[in-house]
Structures are given as structure tokens and as C-alpha cells.
């Protein structure tokens, strides 16, 4: 999520200014507190937003990275078809996916029960049929967590706001240490690490 509760153009403008000032390339995906159309306009992203969703791909070295939109808690039919088509045409085994909602249950009861991806089974079916190892990076759950199923390895990055407890079905605050993830890509391998700061 780039916004706190509701999408605001002024928030996106401030984030874009800060990101641009770093002088490094970056890409953006939306979370459930974002608005795909407003975000795309603010960041000058060229994409088919006819259905109000923002998804696209980028290539780094020999890695193909797919960026998906789960802002409305589901992967749209257009995205599912696009994902199938992309996996069919991508050569080699270096595929990586970025999406806000993880496509697996993560054993965080409050989030799994109340805020998980609505059509994760449909997403899993497409990815499992592909067979190649696919690392998937998500957020949303306010925890650091890894889960694997078949060829999928899902890594959830902690929040930049607060972290949740992982034991209770009711909402439970764990701590206010915030975090970011570094992903290092090499021609046929990758590394990932989470780094915490005091919140």
C-alpha cells in the first residue's frame, strides 16, 4: 500500500517526488488501499487501464518480472488470461512475480480469514501448471513470512507501518519495527533479505 486508508493523488505525488530524487529506476504495484487509475496517472505509467487494473512486465538481465494488481482483493479475469499467456511465451526459467496479496494462505489467522486473496485457487492453478520455480514477492500481511507450494515460493515483506501478531484470529499488534526487502538478481539465481528499522 502506498496510501494509508484511501488513495490520494497528493500522496502519490509526494512518493513520486521522493522516489525520483533517489536517481534509481523503480516500478510500482498497487495495494488494497490504492487506486490503480489514480496511481498510474500520478506516476505516468502507460498501461491498459480499461478495467481499472494495473499490470505489466519488465525484464532485468534475463529475468522476466510480472507485476500484478490485487487492489480489489482478486486477480481480474483479464489478468488471469494475461498471466497464462505470458507464462506460455516466456522462455527459460527466470520468472519472478510481484503482487500485493500473497497467492497462498500464510498462517496468519487474522489476515487469512479476513483479508486473503479471493481467487487464490485460480492463481495457484495457473502457476502450478507451469512447473518452473516461481518466486513471488508480496506484502499486505504486515509480517515477514515465507511459504512454498509446488513450484511457488511466496515471500511476504513486512509493512512500513506496523507488524501484526501471527497467532490470533482477532487483530493483534506485534510491533512497530518497519522493514524493507532487498532482492539481488544474478543471471540464473537470486537472493533476498529483509532489513528492519526502528519504527
Spatial distance between the Cα atoms of 143 and 95, rounded to a whole number of angstroms: 24
| 2 class by beta-carbon count within 10 Å (0-12 exposed, 13-18 middle, 19+ buried) | buried
Spatial distance between the Cα atoms of 59 and 185, rounded to a whole number of angstroms: 11
Angle separating helix axes 9-22 and 36-43, nearest 10 degrees: 40
**In the block, which residue shows the cell 502507460?**
46
pLDDT single digits (tens) 66-93: 999 999 999 999 999 999 999 999 988 8
**Residue 58 contacts residue 65 (beta carbons within 8 Å):** yes
- The count of other CB atoms within 10 Å of the CB of residue 65 is 19
**In the block, which residue shows the cell 511465451?**
89
pLDDT by position in tens, the chain (length 199): 999 888 899 999 999 999 999 999 999 999 999 999 999 999 988 766 768 899 999 998 889 999 999 999 999 999 999 999 999 999 888 999 999 999 999 999 999 999 999 999 999 999 999 999 999 999 999 999 999 999 999 999 999 999 999 999 999 999 999 999 999 999 889 999 999 998 7
| 3-class state of residue 63 by DSSP | strand
The model carries a pTM of 0.94
pLDDT single digits (tens) 29-50: 999 999 999 999 999 887 667 6
What single-letter DSSP state applies at residue 99? -
Spatial distance between the Cα atoms of 151 and 3, rounded to a whole number of angstroms: 32
Amino acid at each position: 500500500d502506498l496510501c494509508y486508508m484511501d488513495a490520494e493523488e497528493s500522496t502519490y505525488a509526494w512518493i513520486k517526488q521522493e522516489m525520483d530524487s533517489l536517481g534509481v529506476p523503480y516500478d510500482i504495484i498497487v495495494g488494497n488501499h490504492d487506486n490503480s487509475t489514480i496511481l498510474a496517472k500520478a506516476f505516468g505509467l502507460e498501461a491498459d487501464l480499461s478495467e481499472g487494473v494495473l499490470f505489466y512486465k519488465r525484464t532485468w538481465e534475463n529475468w522476466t518480472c510480472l507485476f500484478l494488481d490485487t487492489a480489489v482483493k482478486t486477480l481480474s479475469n483479464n489478468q488471469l488470461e494475461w498471466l497464462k499467456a505470458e507464462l506460455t511465451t516466456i522462455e527459460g526459467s527466470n520468472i519472478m512475480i510481484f503482487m500485493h496479496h500473497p497467492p497462498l494462505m500464510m498462517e496468519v489467522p487474522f489476515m487469512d480469514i479476513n483479508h486473503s486473496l479471493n481467487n487464490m485457487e485460480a492463481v495457484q492453478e495457473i502457476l502450478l501448471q507451469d512447473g518452473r520455480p516461481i518466486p513471488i514477492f508480496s506484502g499486505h500481511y504486515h509480517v515477514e513470512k515465507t511459504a512454498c507450494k509446488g513450484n511457488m515460493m511466496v515471500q511476504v515483506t513486512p509493512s512500513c507501518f506496523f507488524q501484526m501478531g501471527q497467532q490470533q484470529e482477532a487483530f493483534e499488534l506485534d510491533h512497530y519495527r518497519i522493514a524493507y526487502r532487498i532482492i539481488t538478481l544474478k543471471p540464473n539465481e537470486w537472493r533476498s533479505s529483509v532489513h528492519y528499522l526502528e519504527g
